[in-house]
Amino acid sequence: MNDIQFLLFSLVSTVVGWLFIAVLPSDKKSVVNSLFVFINALLLSIPAIHVINGNEINYIFRNVGFFGDIPLRIDALSAWFILIINFTSLTGAIYGIGYMKQYSVQTKNLTLHWIEYLLFQISMVWVCIVQNSLVFLVIWEVMSLSSLLLVIFEHQNIKTLKAGLNYLVQMHIGVAFITVAFLWVYIAQGTMDFVAIKDFFAVNSNIWLFLLFFIGFGIKAGFIPLHSWLPHAHPAAPSHVSGVMSGVIVKVGIYGIFRVVTYLQSDFVILGESMLVLSLFTGLFGIINSAMHRDFKKMLAYCTVENIGIIGSGIGLGLIGIGTDSNVLTVLGFSSALLHVLNHSLFKSLLFFSAGSVYQQTHTRDMEQLGGLIKKMPQTALIFLFGAIAIGGLPPFNGFVSEFILYSGFFKGLWSQDLYLTFLMIFAIGSLAFIGGISIFTFTKSFGVIFLGSPRNQLHIEPVEVPFHMRLPQYIIIAVMLSIGIFPVFYITKVMAIISTTFPAVNLSFLNYDFSIFTAISSIGIYALLFIIVIIAILIVRKVVENKKVAVSSATWGCGYVAPNVAMQYTGKSFSKTLGKLLSFIVFEKKKYNELKPNEIFPEARRHSALYTDFVEFRIIDKTLNRLLYFMDLFQFIQNGSLQRYILYGLIFIILIFFGTYLSII
């Protein structure tokens, strides 16, 4: 089979997969789904691997009816995303087998769920293949809708449904922007092939069209202030879906932005600078909110926003590099972005999966209800810990590699000719350091509160470790993560090859005489390994020393207090309270309580609750919407429910049309 046949065959296998999922009993559906996800992943990854090795695919279906020519193109950029999507979808599907077991009675719901899952995977991949704007939009829509149906699996829950609606509406605002952008290109150039975007950019201002695309794809990716669907949709979805959505569907948004970036012809510096600044704010905003929330899936969702910020800063830096003819900046910026796309898809899906295991066992997403889970679920705890270290960008894991490259890009950018750029870079360095700091804060808190200490609440059912087939995909992810952390050069050479084919203008020859970047990247791999060895050596010494002694067990030191209980443990809320107070201009604490009345001699039992609200969502979006609603309400008299009036409206409309045509106004 040639590559095109592989691609087309994936469509056939999807349909066959649907049939199997539909007819098999409910406990087999998930297994069949993973099987077909695996087949699809194979069918779609083989061409992608060919492309990465240097044979681009460019095939055009001529004159397909209304659509015109449909080009199927896989360049190295698409191939990179296709591989990432396939990997995460596959691990998600395998994890989902165990995760969805608890719902096995809902046969019809499960059928729909797994059918949508297959569709979801295939549509995400095809978004990266098709380069005809109309077909692209159709597949894009299929992707959004299938993910919507995946999110609202528990549609009986009103909150889930609400989150789903929110997602649906926001995705369509995004589609509206993308559609307008494509229409603009179509009207100006007369073709729906993506190449037309390049021609459009060559003759028109780049800023406005890019802005349209950026808003459209940015909603998917979750740049502020377009991120507000993420913290709702991710907690509502089943965990394997949140993992895949956070791991890859937001990356499809990044793919869209990257694709448009490859077509840009001018205005690089201004676009790069704006993108860099916006991304840094996205990163800061995401991680600050993430530090506050007690719902651990919401915490992870905000953390996705942060990582999108990091990826975006890489793209921004790359654009600045193109604009200032600095190949180093371009390569460092884009390669950090591409590598972070991979890294984030790995550790974020890992974290969502392990968080899902916790949710499955405890049925709560509120970390303040948990604690001490490391004793009940030691492997899940370890998996979450690895994910937390990686996402904090700490060596020896993969997160450090991409952040290191981004840092080196920013430091290189300090020597820009333009003073303004130097300032921007020092701002970027400071922000990135701050983001790194808060993410360590966030994940020590989350890991500590969920897994360490003693249980804060008596759970109805004692949690136990999840079965092996749920842990297996997570171990595979950890293995890949470690391979990036320890052998970064392998991945970085691949990424640089992608950049050199995707951006032919970028000259990689500087790498031949400036080895420092490659040396640095290979060094961090070697020294990450050395770090692990040093840790193991110290642990062995400790073991030898400790073996001679008797270890005594006793209660935690309570400063002389003899009756400590679990409620006295430090909570996540108090852990992050100081930071919340410090940043109270971004994260608002909303408290709900009843004041003690003066004549209330014997106070009744009362509740006190506090939650943090999203600045953008509550201060900007909701406020604007309320204004809009108020204005719309003024016209409510038109829609008054009386049929006679509606007929009258119709009559008036017809008369208007009649006179309009008669007087030839219309």
Partner 1 sequence: MLSFVLIILVSFVFTGIVIRTKSLASGRKGPGVFQPMKDILRLFKKGAVYSETTSIIFQIAPSIYFASIIMAILVLPFGHYKGIISFSYDFVFFAYVLAMGKFFNIISALDTGSSFEGMGASREALFSMLAEPAFFILMGSLALLTGHTSFQEIFMTFHFGSYTSYAIGTLATFVLIIICMIENSRMPIDDPKTHLELTMMHEVMILDNSGFDLGLILHGTNMKFALYGALIANLFMGNLPLYYSIPLFIFIQSLFAVVVGLLESFSARFRMSHNAQFILVLSSVSLLVFFSVLMVMGKFN
Q: Is 333 in the site for partner 1 (CB under 8 A)?
A: no
Q: Is 510 in the site for partner 1 (CB under 8 A)?
A: no
Query: According to CB under 8 A, which residues from 335 to 364 bind partner 1?
Result: none
Q: Whole-number minimum distance, CB 74 to partner 1, in Å? A: 34
Looking at residue 618, what DSSP letter applies? I
Which one, 578 or 609, has the nearer CB to partner 1? Answer: 578
Which one, 20 or 427, has the nearer CB to partner 1? Answer: 427
Q: Which are the contacts of 161, defined by CB distance < 8 A and separation ≥ 6?
A: 152, 155
Q: Is 375 in the site for partner 1 (CB under 8 A)?
A: yes
Q: Which stretch binds partner 1 (CB under 8 A): 82-90, 192-200, 267-275, 562-570?
A: 562-570
Contact residue for partner 1 among 517, 587, 612, 617 (CB under 8 A): 517
Where is 489: in which H helix or E strand? helix 488-502
Looking at residue 544, what DSSP letter applies? H
DSSP 624-646: HHHHHHHHHHTTGGGS-S-HHHH
Contact residue for partner 1 among 8, 15, 430, 593 (CB under 8 A): 430
Q: How many residues bind partner 1 (CB under 8 A)?
A: 87
Distance from first CA to last CA of the chain, Å, rounded? Answer: 57
Structure-derived torsion over alpha carbons of residues 180, 183, 188, 190, reported in degrees to the nearest 10 = 170
Q: Is 524 in the site for partner 1 (CB under 8 A)?
A: yes
Q: Whole-number minimum distance, CB 274 to partner 1, in Å? A: 22
* Six token digits for residue 658: 């009649």
* Six token digits for residue 460: 């109805």
Looking at residue 464, what DSSP letter applies? -
Q: Is 462 in the site for partner 1 (CB under 8 A)?
A: no
Q: Which stretch binds partner 1 (CB under 8 A): 66-74, 80-88, 156-164, 549-557?
A: 549-557
Contact residue for partner 1 among 17, 96, 453, 485 (CB under 8 A): 453
Q: Which stretch binds partner 1 (CB under 8 A): 8-16, 92-100, 250-258, 400-408?
A: 400-408
Q: Is 458 in the site for partner 1 (CB under 8 A)?
A: no
Tell me if 253 sits within 8 A of 304, measured CB to CB: no
Q: Is 452 in the site for partner 1 (CB under 8 A)?
A: yes
Angstrom distance (rounded) from CA 224 to CA 401: 25
Q: Whole-number minimum distance, CB 332 to partner 1, in Å? A: 11
Q: Whole-number minimum distance, CB 410 to partner 1, in Å? A: 8
Q: Is 183 in the site for partner 1 (CB under 8 A)?
A: no
CA 366 to chain centroid: 21
Closest C-alpha among 99, 80, 85, 106 to residue 26: 106
Q: Is 559 in the site for partner 1 (CB under 8 A)?
A: yes
Q: Which stretch binds partner 1 (CB under 8 A): 96-104, 200-208, 519-527, 595-603?
A: 519-527
Q: Whole-number minimum distance, CB 575 to partner 1, in Å? A: 4
Angstrom distance (rounded) from CA 655 to CA 666: 13
Q: Is 660 in the site for partner 1 (CB under 8 A)?
A: no
Q: Is 523 in the site for partner 1 (CB under 8 A)?
A: yes
Q: Whole-number minimum distance, CB 545 to partner 1, in Å? A: 5
DSSP 34-101: HHHHHHHHHHHHHHHHHHHTT--EEEEE---GGG--EEEEE-HHHHHHHHHHHHHHHHHHHHHHHHGG
Angstrom distance (rounded) from CA 328 to CA 318: 9
Helix spans in 128-157 (H): 133-151
Q: Is 438 in the site for partner 1 (CB under 8 A)?
A: yes
Q: Is 538 in the site for partner 1 (CB under 8 A)?
A: yes
Contact residue for partner 1 among 62, 460, 549, 607 (CB under 8 A): 549
Residue with tokens 């000719």: 417
Q: Whole-number minimum distance, CB 340 to partner 1, in Å? A: 15
Structure-derived torsion over alpha carbons of residues 110, 116, 120, 126, reported in degrees to the nearest 10 = 150
Q: Which stretch binds partner 1 (CB under 8 A): 61-69, 116-124, 192-200, 516-524?
A: 516-524
Output b/e per residue, 514-546; b: 16+ Cβ within 10 A: eeebeeebbebbeebbeeeeeeeeeeeeeeeee
Which one, 188 or 426, has the nearer CB to partner 1? Answer: 426
